[in-house]
Amino acid sequence: MAGTSIRETLLNRSAETVSRSGKPAEFLRYIHNFRGFAILVIVASHVISSLEWGNDRVEDFVQILVGNGTVYFVFIAGFLFQFLSHKYEFGSYLIKKFRYVLLPYSLVSIPAIGLCLADKIYTPPEWYLERFADASILKQIGMFYLTGAHLPPFWFIPMIGLFYLISPALILLDRTPKAYWVLPTLLIVTLLVPRPYDNGAIQSFVHFLSVYVLGMFCSHFRDKLFPIVQKHFLWLIASVLVLTALEFWIEPRPIPLNSLNKLIVCLLVIYFLWRTEAQTPKPFHAVMGFLAQLSFGIYFLHDYFIIAYFGAASKFNFPPFWTDANLLIFSLIFSFGLGASLVSIVLLKRILGKKSRFVIGS
């Protein structure tokens, strides 16, 4: 070990193990921990969006920092897609995604669609009402499933479904490494095609395509990634600060910059989690691993509890303090939404066993 640099030592220690068949092991702790971090950000962002803000500039700043956590989810999805691509087969891949993503989405959506149709507790977004309020019940139900408008986080599923459909093209790209030179063009597309106000699946797909492909790229070249991030770490930090300042000060707010900013944050976070993995206390790994394992269940359930809180606040005329944007109320609602989701998932897993994945994705 003499003469070996700290960086080389960490690379050797952190590199994934390889099976006798030559295929990579199917676990990277830093990505697993990042999944846990990502779902916490997702829950936090939906709480923040639901609070009553007295200062628009403060809200903008918080949204810049915490919002658009979708970038983390899409980056991780692309990373894991490439990491597991050695066993890719289109038919079985689609079946797996149907069982563990689309089927739970269909089932968990039923109460939300019922509430929307009954106009109880939660009302669909204005754009949805303008387009489909006068449509038949069956058409409305179909459009809810196609748009995800029945619950704020659910727009993600129709969008990610498009990635499942083009997965053969993504596999071809990954098996032709020079094709990754398309990434700069895709990043420009992300800046030119913003995330739509109605979270439409097709435009969202176009916007987030660079994020998914960059996740694939980082997995494909993961043995070279961290030395590069380490070398340019301060420049990456500076880039995040500059992009944050630009997004805050430019009017109207250049929202596409946020996705680019969050991509840089992805690199910094996975580097930090990898770099500190050996020194991180075991309870941290345990908590992040627990959240990562249940992340899809948390994703599907948490907004039900957030909406229930605000529905109760409206029905029982809570004083404004209980829905205002402050650290205490944020912490209360965040803990309630996350905690109630975890309790529900654990109970369902005990009742349904392995079949719980068909219902809540976890």
199 vs 184, residue with greater confidence: 184
pLDDT > 50? residue 10: no
Confidence band for 11, pLDDT divided at 50, 70 and 90: very low
Question: For the segment 137-192, what is each residue's pLDDT rounded down to a tens digit?
Answer: 999 999 999 999 999 999 999 999 999 999 999 999 999 999 999 999 999 999 99
Question: For the segment 234-272, what is each residue's pLDDT rounded down to a tens digit?
Answer: 999 999 999 999 999 988 788 889 999 999 999 999 999
Confidence band for 26, pLDDT divided at 50, 70 and 90: low
Residue 56 has what pLDDT? 86
What separation in angstroms does the CA of 218 have from each of 2, 31, 161, 347? 30, 11, 22, 36
259 vs 22, residue with greater confidence: 259
What residue spans of the chain are helical by DSSP H?
A: 6-14, 29-50, 56-66, 70-83, 90-97, 103-118, 126-132, 137-147, 156-165, 167-174, 183-192, 201-220, 222-231, 233-249, 256-275, 282-293, 295-315, 327-352, 356-360
Q: What is the dihedral of CA 107, 40, 189, 98, to 10 degrees?
A: -20
Question: For the segment 109-134, what is each residue's pLDDT rounded down to a tens digit?
Answer: 999 999 888 876 678 888 888 888 88
- Residue in this structure with the two tokens 């359930």, named with its chain if needed: 301
Residue 282 has what pLDDT? 92
What is the three-state SS of 89-147? CHHHHHHHHHHHHHHHHHHHHHHHHHHHHHCCCCCCCHHHHHHHCCCCHHHHHHHHHHH
pLDDT > 80? residue 316: yes
pLDDT > 70? residue 12: no
What's the pTM? 0.90
Contacts of 151 (CB under 8 A, 6+ apart): 109, 112, 122, 303, 304, 307
> What Rg value do the Cα atoms of the chain yield, rounded?
21
**Cis omega (within 30 of 0) on the bond before 254?**
no
Q: What is the mean pLDDT of residues 205-214?
A: 97
Residue 2 has what pLDDT? 38
Percent of the chain with pLDDT strictly greater than 90 = 77
Contacts of 295 (CB under 8 A, 6+ apart): 35, 36, 38, 39, 362
Q: What is the mean pLDDT of residues 330-351?
A: 96
Distance CA 109, CA 133 (A): 18
Question: For the segment 256-312, what is each residue's pLDDT rounded down to a tens digit?
Answer: 899 999 999 999 999 999 999 989 999 999 999 999 999 999 999 999 999 999 999
Distance CA 99, CA 92 (A): 10
361 vs 12, residue with greater confidence: 361
Percent of the chain with pLDDT strictly greater than 70 = 92
C-alpha of 69 from chain center: 5
